Amino acid sequence: MIDHYLYLAVILFVIGALGVMIRRNALVAFMSVELMLNAANLALVAFAFQHGKLDGQVASFFVMVVAAAEVVVGLGIIVSIYKTRRSTSVDNANLLNR
Amino acid sequence: MTVVFWICAPLMVLGALGLVLFRKAVHSALSMALTMVCLAVLYASLSAPFLFAVQIIVYTGAVLMMFLFVLMLVGVDTPDSIVETIKGQRVLAALGALGLLGLMVFSIGGAVTAPATTTAAAEAAAGGNVEGVAELLFGRYVWVFELTSALLITAAVGAMIFAHAQRTKPKLGQKERADERMKAYAASGTHPGSLPNSGVFATSNSIATPALLPDGSIAEESVSRTLTERGVQLDSAQLKQITADAFAAAERVGDEEDEEL
């Protein structure tokens, strides 16, 4: 049964990676990163269940906390880029490119 | 557990696909909400009630609401551009994703053969799931927990710095504005008082109707410049004509009534 959860986690992770690669909207790319983090969380909890230890759940909890902090800073960056460039497309943030 | 999994898993995959494929970011955010709620249910089915609650509170509650707030800030209706800046990027990305999927599926396939131990024993030893997680969190992982608080404070300060906009000009108060008007009056004779308001005629009291000066000419200042340039300013002569016609008609009716008497 646990391997089903792992396959689901893999599918979600791959869909998230695909989203990061093909979407130009910074917000949607960011949501895809969140999806990848959650897929990893699901694998952690599934392994915790498999091995009968709660450490996996604690690790998953820490991932959630780090993801929340990451969202705060990432959205702050997106909003400040939007303020100066009037766009959330990742193609338009090219100041370091010039 | 099996039933819950087979209900939630397809919904989650659909939600994840929607997140990637919807053109509008709001739809993506909503389908992500579906995925997150289903994920919380799967945590519950894996006997992790604490994570079930945290997932719903942190992800669907806090993170997604923040995503939606930012979406409202940056404009909801901006669809993603479909122009490929790198040629063949989409095909290559799909191929890469397929490769990643194959790699991970083959590495997982047959990796788990033993039946699940389940966390029942560990929970029974600690007196419950939440107690067990708390024991680890404040026991073995207490140092990581402390570092987490430092991380959260740093993130909060960082977000505040990002949101802070520095004022480039000093803020103008009432006194400064009044001084400026008087200076303009002294220099060019501009009237320091408020502008005349738009005119009121019998058929229209809209802000696009200009006020008339005593000599019958239009007071230019009484209508917003924007409206004038957009060409929506109502013609006062025409309006006067309508009013005059209406009065003339009323008087004619009055005259006829007089005759009948």
Within-domain flag for B218: yes
Within-domain flag for B37: yes
Give the amino acid at A89: S
What total number of domains does chain B contain?
2
Within-domain flag for B235: yes
CB contacts of B47 in chain A (<8 Å) are 49
Residue B147 above 90 pLDDT? yes
Range of the domain at B220: 195-260
Q: Which residue of B has its CA nearest to A50?
A: B116
CB contacts of B40 in chain A (<8 Å) are none
Q: Which of B74, B109, B128 is the last residue of a domain?
A: B74
CB contacts of B163 in chain A (<8 Å) are 76, 79-80
The average pLDDT across B135-147 equals 92
Nearest residue to B16 (alpha-carbon basis) of A38, A98, A47, A2: A38
- Average pLDDT over chain B, rounded to an integer: 84
A78-94 confidence digits (pLDDT tens): 888 888 877 777 777 77
Within-domain flag for B221: yes
Within-domain flag for B65: yes
Half-sphere exposure of B171 (CA within 13 A, CB side): 4
Q: Which of B74, B90, B124 is the last residue of a domain?
A: B74
- Which position has the token pair 């809209």? B206
Q: Do B108 and A10 touch (CB under 8 A)?
A: yes
The average pLDDT across A58-72 equals 92
CB contacts of A11 in chain B (<8 Å) are 13, 16, 101
pLDDT at residue B255 in the model: 81
Within-domain flag for B187: no
B88-117 confidence digits (pLDDT tens): 888 899 999 999 999 998 888 877 777 777
The average pLDDT across B180-200 equals 84
Instruction: Give the residue with greater pLDDT, B148 vs B23.
Output: B148
Residue B71 above 70 pLDDT? yes
From residue B7, give the alpha-carbon distance in Å to each of B2, B12, B60, B79.
9, 9, 19, 31
Within-domain flag for B152: no
Nearest residue to A71 (alpha-carbon basis) of B28, B164, B152: B152
Name the residue among B54, B67, B116 with its Cβ closest to that of A27: B67
Give the amino acid at B4: V
Task: Determine contact, residues A54/B47, Cβ cutoff 8 Å.
Answer: no
Name the residue among B54, B93, B154 with its Cβ closest to that of A22: B93
pLDDT at residue B193 in the model: 83
Residue B81 above 70 pLDDT? no
Q: Which domains does chain A have, with CATH numbers?
A: 2-87 (1.10.287.3510)
The average pLDDT across B182-200 equals 84
Q: Which of B59, B74, B89 is the last residue of a domain?
A: B74
**The CATH number of the domain where B31 resides is what?**
1.20.120.1200
Within-domain flag for B150: no
Measured distance CA(B104)–CA(B102) in Å, rounded: 6
A15-62 confidence digits (pLDDT tens): 999 999 988 888 899 999 999 999 999 999 999 998 888 899 999 999
pLDDT at residue B161 in the model: 86
